[in-house]
Amino acid sequence: MDADRGWRGYLPDAALAAAVGGALLGGIVLAPVGAAPGPLEYLALLAGTLAVVAWRRAPLPALAVATACMLAFSARVHPETSAAFPVLITAYSVARDGRRIAAAGASALFLGGTLLADLSAAGTGDPRAVVQRAVLLVGWFVAANVGGVVSRQRQAYLRQAEERAAEAERTREEAALRRAGEERLRIARELHDSLTHSISIIKVQAGVAVHLARKRGEDVPPALLAIQEASGDAMRELRATLEVLRDPGEEAANGVGRIGELADRARAAGVPVSLDVSGDRRELPGEVDRTAYRIVQEALTNVARHAGPAASAAVGVEYGPDVLTVRVHDDGRAAPDGPPVPGVGLTGMRERVAALGGRLSAGPRPGGGFSVEAELPLSPAPGLATATAHPAAEATAAGTAATAHPVAAPAAHPGHSAPATLGAHPAPATLGGEAG
């Protein structure tokens, strides 16, 4: 295969050499001037013509062969101007290769040799024809040498233009990365200023209340303990978020392995939660691992906020051969005919799952309650990798979600939103109320 491609590369040059050889033979047959060519002259003609085949790949050897052979051929046969064609082509190639002195020297050698040969053969004839032919050849050789130099300069200009374009593209990418870094730092400062102070006050106040209750010998309310624990967890996640924003190389440590902690936190808030993990447990891709964790976190948060005081939840994680399936069902007060209420909780879920090329379905269950199910491919389809959220962006949403642990008292709500799916049916969906 490679050999075939190599031979095909010689075909245009071989065709050019054949055309030059045909012009030389035509000049000999149609307008004979000197002696009839013999075997040595035909051999010189063949060698000079074949040198044209290498005019691009080996320009200097081709010029040397063409000049010597065609000079010997011209001295014997005197074929008008056609004998200069192989030398013109190879001189142009050598000048284009940057060897202007060699090209000019070979041109001068050929011009001088043919002029002497023509003058000696003219005898008592009209020398003006010889001079006119010499002037014509000089013009051709000057044009060939100048054309080679101009072609080299044009190629150098094109290379510089390509390098400048590549440099400009690299500079744009660096500028975009720099702006992204500045934006991450700005978001980190905003998160720190807007959330850290408030969460710290909640944590301190809850800690003081727990301390005073124990000092008085009173039973500490479970809700107060849950607030204290959740605020501490929120501070840790917010701190991790800020670290990721400041250093994109760091990734959040939350994953499927910590879903049990989410279940424990929900139980502490008064929501009975069962957890079932099935299939062949193994290490997951980072984006899949974090997305599964965030889906369960958001779903349990909404159960605590909207499902009702007597609701319970069931969390299921199933490791499949190619897909990780995450399910969160509750038996709360969401009705199958409940009106859709827009929110941002499932919007974040939908974006995460879509970035991985997965499928998300969420909606009321036929017998009451609400269901969230996500199928996350373990090997994202080609073309979807660019849609995957940057770890810093993922952690930004993580930090926001971290402030909504399931510790608040259940709020009254008419029901959850209508069912929706991602993947085959990309209709939007949200959990009821101010989800997430």
Mean pLDDT of 233-260: 71
Residue recorded with tokens 């390098």? 163
More confident residue, 321 or 17: 321
Whether residue 68 has pLDDT greater than 50: yes
Instruction: Give the separation between CA 105 and CA 107, rounded to whole angstroms.
Output: 5
73-87, 171-185, 314-328: the lowest-pLDDT one: 73-87
| Residue 163 lies inside a defined structural domain of this protein | no
Rg (CA), the chain: 42
Residue 123's pLDDT is 59
> In total, how many domains does the chain have?
2
Instruction: Give the separation between CA 345 and CA 131, rounded to whole angstroms.
Output: 93
Q: What is the pLDDT of residues 410-433, one digit of tens each?
A: 333 434 443 443 343 333 333 333
Confidence of residue 77 (pLDDT cuts 50, 70, 90): confident
Task: For residue 131, give the nearest of 114, 145, 143 by alpha carbon.
Answer: 114
Tokens of 66: 């063409």
Q: Which of 88, 105, 125 is the last residue of a domain?
A: 125
More confident residue, 257 or 430: 257
Task: For residue 390, give the nearest of 183, 251, 218, 227 by alpha carbon.
Answer: 251
- Do residue 256 and residue 404 come from a single domain? yes
Residue 326 near residue 279, CB atoms below 8 Å: no
Residue 369 near residue 434, CB atoms below 8 Å: no
Centre a 10 Å sphere on the Cβ of residue 415 and count the other Cβ atoms it contains: 22
Whether residue 155 has pLDDT greater than 70: yes
Q: Report the amino acid identity of residue 270.
A: G
Residue 376's pLDDT is 93
Whether residue 436 has pLDDT greater than 50: no
- Do residue 265 and residue 414 come from a single domain? yes
Residue 192's pLDDT is 67
More confident residue, 156 or 248: 156
Instruction: Give the separation between CA 64 and CA 91, rounded to whole angstroms.
Output: 9
Residues 6+ apart with CB under 8 A from 11: none
Host domain of residue 271? 251-421
Whether residue 328 has pLDDT greater than 80: yes
Q: What is the pLDDT of residues 215-239, one digit of tens each?
A: 888 888 887 888 878 877 777 777 7
Residue 363's pLDDT is 85
For the chain, what percent of residues have pLDDT higher than 70?
Answer: 73
- Do residue 391 and residue 255 come from a single domain? yes
Mean pLDDT of 333-343: 66
Residue 319's pLDDT is 93
- On average, the pLDDT of the chain sits at 75
240, 251, 314, 337, 387 from 287: Cα distances, Å:
16, 10, 23, 34, 11
102, 105, 138, 289 from 99: Cα distances, Å:
6, 10, 19, 63
Whether residue 40 has pLDDT greater than 90: no
Residue 301's pLDDT is 84
Mean pLDDT of 50-59: 84
Parallel/antiparallel/unpaired status of strands 370-377 and 359-364 = antiparallel
Q: What is the pLDDT of residues 30-39, one digit of tens each?
A: 655 555 667 7
| Residue 93 lies inside a defined structural domain of this protein | yes
| Residue 223 lies inside a defined structural domain of this protein | no
More confident residue, 120 or 271: 271
Tokens of 406: 């399931």
- Do residue 262 and residue 411 come from a single domain? yes
**Coil/strand/helix, residue 318:** strand
Residues 6+ apart with CB under 8 A from 326: 292, 295, 296, 315, 316, 317, 318, 372, 373, 374, 376
Residue 325's pLDDT is 94
Q: Which of 100, 125, 150 is the last residue of a domain?
A: 125
Mean pLDDT of 134-143: 87
| Residue 168 lies inside a defined structural domain of this protein | no
| Residue 44 lies inside a defined structural domain of this protein | yes
Mean pLDDT of 384-411: 39
Q: Which of 125, 158, 187 is the last residue of a domain?
A: 125
Residue 43's pLDDT is 85
Mean pLDDT of 112-117: 81
55-69, 323-337, 401-415: the lowest-pLDDT one: 401-415
How many residues in the chain? Answer: 436
Sign of CA dihedral 321, 326, 330, 334: negative
Tokens of 92: 């142009």
Mean pLDDT of 96-100: 87
Helical (H) or strand (E) element with 20: helix 2-30
Give the sheet arrangement for strand 313-319, strand by strand: 273-279, 313-319, 323-330, 370-377, 359-364, 420-421
Residue 114's pLDDT is 80
- Do residue 263 and residue 410 come from a single domain? yes
Mean pLDDT of 83-93: 87
Residue 317's pLDDT is 94
Q: Which of 196-210, 272-286, 398-412 has the highest mean pLDDT?
A: 272-286
Whether residue 372 has pLDDT greater than 80: yes
Mean pLDDT of 354-371: 87
Residue 387's pLDDT is 37
Instruction: Give the separation between CA 229 and CA 215, rounded to whole angstroms.
Output: 19
Beta pairing partners, 328 = 315, 372
Task: For residue 413, give the nearest of 428, 436, 432, 396 by alpha carbon.
Answer: 432
| Residue 246 lies inside a defined structural domain of this protein | no
> The domain spanning residue 299 has which CATH number?
3.30.565.10
Instruction: Give the separation between CA 81 and CA 111, rounded to whole angstroms.
Output: 11
| Residue 151 lies inside a defined structural domain of this protein | no
Residue 393's pLDDT is 40
More confident residue, 189 or 373: 373
Residue 269's pLDDT is 78
Mean pLDDT of 79-103: 84
For the chain, what percent of residues have pLDDT higher than 90?
Answer: 10
| Residue 10 lies inside a defined structural domain of this protein | yes
